[in-house]
Amino acid sequence: MISKQRTLVIIKPDGVQRSLIGEIIKRYERVGLKLIGIKMMVPEKKQVKGHYTLNPSWVRNVGEKAIESYKKKGEKPPSENPEEVGEKVLENLQGYMTSGPVIVMVWQGAHAVEVIRKITGGTEPRSSDVGTVRGDFVLDSYSMADTDNRAIRNIIHASGSDDEAEKEIEHWFTEGELTNYRLVQEQIMYDVNLDGILE
Ligand code: ADP
Ligand code: MG
């Protein structure tokens, strides 16, 4: 059922340090999505590596995305080899994601993956849209991250597809840590008839 779609969100260490936990949760909550799992932890490097390699083509994709972004701005990418760029990103991400506490969450609702990505914004805060979390609260860029040989600090991780979401949820949560419950507002969002409002 579409209204049961689930997605994984991580408020990364910079998001926690910027005191944005409440602001981020508010944005996902007010659109109508339901929080069904949440915990704070300091991840381990192997957990982070496992997360980003759940999809075997992620390393290559992330490299291609970075190279394309440089070219779009008329700038020269640090390397033309997507695998090389991707591997470096993975290494730097392990340092970034284990640098402090993160908040790991599962959100549920219609089009959860797509809607959360829309509210979160594009990977590079420099170019992500105004009105998105990454566009509104950070200004990091591919070039700043490359200059300092580190991962882009963009506050949030959000699953990129339904398939990615299911694998990531399993990676971070046991079924027992997720709570199935009904939100009263779901009747207004999902029921066919709006019976019972008028007395
Ligand atoms: P998203 O988080 O938007 O799904 P990706 O899955 O492509 O983006 O990349 C995962 C994370 O790796 C990004 O959120 C960002 O923190 C970091 N990252 C991606 N590409 C680069 C890059 N070229 N240089 C540094 N860090 C990067
Ligand atoms: Mg991703």
Decide if domain 2-42+100-190 falls under CATH 3.40.50.300.
no
pLDDT of residue 108: 98
**Cα–Cα dist 47/142, whole Å:** 24
Kindly state if the Cβ of 65 falls inside 6 Å of ligand 1: yes
Per-residue pLDDT tens digits for 68-112: 988 988 989 889 999 999 999 999 999 999 999 999 999 999 999
Q: What is the dihedral of CA 89, 126, 112, 38, to 10 degrees?
A: 70
Ligand 1: residue whose CA is nearest its atom 15: 152
| Full-model pTM | 0.95
In the 8-state DSSP scheme, what is residue 148? T
pLDDT of residue 51: 98
Kindly state if the Cβ of 113 falls inside 6 Å of ligand 1: no
Write the CA distances from 63 to 80, 89, 115, 169, 183, integer angstroms. Answer: 9, 8, 25, 24, 40
Distance from the CA of 62 to the center of ligand 1, in angstroms?
7
Pocket test for ligand 1, best of 65, 138, 146, 152 (most atoms within 8 A of CB): 152
Pocket test for ligand 1, best of 49, 114, 116, 123 (most atoms within 8 A of CB): 123
Q: Helix (H, G, I), strand (E, B), or coil: what is residue 16?
A: helix
pLDDT of residue 52: 97
Domain ranges of the chain: 2-42+100-190
pLDDT tens, N- to C-terminus, the chain (199 residues): 899 999 999 999 999 999 999 999 999 999 999 999 999 999 999 999 999 999 999 999 999 998 998 898 898 988 999 999 999 999 999 999 999 999 999 999 999 999 999 999 999 999 999 999 999 999 999 999 999 999 999 999 999 999 999 999 999 999 999 999 999 999 999 999 998 899 9
pLDDT of residue 196: 85
